[in-house]
Amino acid sequence: METNDSLSSVTATAEAQEPPSTLLFTVEEIDESDTEEPPPSEGAVSGARYPQLFPSLFKEKEFSDKTISIHKQASTIKTRSFRRLYYPNVSMVQWNDWRWQIQNRICTAGQLSRFLKLSDGEIQALTYAGGGLPLSITPYYASLLKAKNPDHPLRRSVVPVVNELYRSEGESDDPLHEENDSPVPGLVHRYPDRVLFLATDFCSTYCRYCTRSRMVGRSSDRDYGKSHWEAAIAYIEATASVRDVLISGGDPLTLPDEALEWLLSRLRRIPHVEIIRIGTKVPVVLPQRITMKLANMLKRYHPLWMNIHFTHPEEITPETENACSRLANAGIPLGSQTVLLRGVNDDVTVLKDLYQRLLTCRVRPYYLYQCDPISGSSHFRTPVEKGLEIIEGLRGHTTGFAVPQYVIDAPGGGGKIPLLPDYFQGRHGSDIILRNYEQRRFSYPDTAV
């Protein structure tokens, strides 16, 4: 077996993707004036590398620690210990700056091997040069991973293993046929009254089971700049049936505030767009991004909803709780979506814990997805019976708010189809026969005409 040390010079499958700095917006100045937290008391931020990361943001004004105030975050002992051990020269202020987190993403096998004792299967995947879904993990999320356990649920969801290199029967790169329902690049119009707006292909951390792994992390293939957005906006303006726009990607909350606000304001100007939704995993993998400035900006574009991608209860940390709290305090209704993943969260105890804890964060569990048959996902997929068993183990056994809708996004573009255990057991005369969560049967007089 190859040792971790020998990996130090190995470059991972794909090089680090540039974050979304290609936005063609001029920003006069950055003023992250958080209002809730005290000013930073530890260390100072060096801005030397920021202009490379967000050239448009720093065009007009050089970064300095006076132009950005970074909030202090509560964090677990594990995360604090991780920072001290692996980033001894990085201050709390830097660590809690989302730009620092993005700039210091872990994108190569060599970087990852500093923190994790990699398994053979992980090494094989990381050294494969076939150009699959890139590796990218924020240092914050890396602090949550268990160094010696390749079966650790969070680790499995972000560190590639060799299984993802094989395509099994029934899998495809675009099983939901999103490309077929795309009237203009970056926009999916499948359902009558709503569209999916793919604002970026960039995520701070890539999930190994991503439904859009065919497109995320590959900005060299597509233009996600302003001209791309303009075409999608023009389509929405011309399509009066669209009353709901879901901004997703990639992860739209990795965009700079100014770019996101530009998009939100353009959409808000369209009279028939009633609601805007954002789909994101940022509060989970990059909670530092949810600054007060961002929350204050977002609340100007209500009604705005947000669905957050959670996978496991270990993702609920003080940082994530704080991020959810800021968003909820900004009046944004929060939902969660979770992909059911073998060996990660396919256990009713795990998901009940996740869902109950989400309710305490004011996040309503919304969807539990059967894992889509994307290429290289067979090691993640569970039998459908497992999903039904989990819903059975939740419904009636805990708060109804903690029970999401279990859905299969039908391959071929059929859309989301809900599945329920067999609570409806048939008819007896004019009665319908039902069973409850305790397996007791009841009849309901279905006599209304």
- Residues serving a catalytic function are 190-191, 194, 203, 207, 210, 212, 372, 409, 416
364, HSE (Cβ side, Cα atoms, 13 Å): 11
323 in contact with ligand SF4 (CB under 6 A): no
Of the candidate residues 162, 196, 210, 402, the single one contacting ligand SF4 (CB under 6 A): 210
Smallest separation (angstroms) from ligand SF4 to the CB of 281: 4
Smallest separation (angstroms) from ligand SF4 to the CB of 309: 6
Q: Which residue is nearest to ligand SF4 (CB)?
A: 210
Write out the binding residues for ligand SF4, residues 25-54 only, by CB under 6 A.
Answer: none
Neighbours of 34 (CB within 10 A): 20
Amino acid at 324: C
Neighbours of 168 (CB within 10 A): 13
62-70, 106-114, 206-214, 367-375 -> range binding ligand SF4 (CB under 6 A): 206-214
Which is nearer to ligand SF4, 207 or 304 (by Cβ)? 207
Which is nearer to ligand SF4, 30 or 154 (by Cβ)? 154
CA distances from residue 230 to 76, 163, 276 in whole angstroms, order as listed? 42, 39, 17
Structure tokens at 417: 């189809």
Of the candidate residues 98, 141, 206, 235, the single one contacting ligand SF4 (CB under 6 A): 206
170: alpha, beta or left, given left = phi > 0 and alpha = psi -120 to 50?
A: left
Is residue 50 within a helix (H) or strand (E), and if so which, with residue range?
helix 50-53
* Burial call 410-429: b when 16+ CB within 10 Å, e when fewer: eeebeeeeeeebeeeeeeee
Which is nearer to ligand SF4, 189 or 212 (by Cβ)? 212
DSSP calls for 262-277: HHHHHHHTSTT--EEE
251 in contact with ligand SF4 (CB under 6 A): yes
Of the candidate residues 30, 70, 106, 203, the single one contacting ligand SF4 (CB under 6 A): 203
Write out the binding residues for ligand SF4, residues 328-357 only, by CB under 6 A.
Answer: none
How far apart CA 41 and CA 78 sit, in angstroms, is: 21
Smallest separation (angstroms) from ligand SF4 to the CB of 371: 11
Question: SS3 for 97?
Answer: coil
Write out the binding residues for ligand SF4, residues 271-290 only, by CB under 6 A.
Answer: 281
Smallest separation (angstroms) from ligand SF4 to the CB of 336: 13
Count of residues near ligand SF4 by CB under 6 A = 11
3-state secondary structure 278-305: EEECHHHHCHHHCCHHHHHHHHHHCCEE
Of the candidate residues 154, 161, 162, 216, the single one contacting ligand SF4 (CB under 6 A): 216
Of the candidate residues 99, 152, 194, 212, the single one contacting ligand SF4 (CB under 6 A): 212
Structure tokens at 241: 């049936």
Residue span 351-390 as binding mask against ligand SF4, x where in contact by CB under 6 A, dash where not:
----------------------------------------
DSSP calls for 139-204: HHHHTTS-TT-TT-HHHHHHS--GGGG-PPTT-BSSTT-TGGG-SBTTEE--STTEEEEE--S--S
250 in contact with ligand SF4 (CB under 6 A): yes
Write out the binding residues for ligand SF4, residues 146-185 only, by CB under 6 A.
Answer: none
Smallest separation (angstroms) from ligand SF4 to the CB of 213: 7
Of the candidate residues 189, 194, 289, 309, the single one contacting ligand SF4 (CB under 6 A): 309
> Given the rule CB under 6 A, which residues bind ligand SF4?
203, 206-207, 210, 212, 216, 249-251, 281, 309
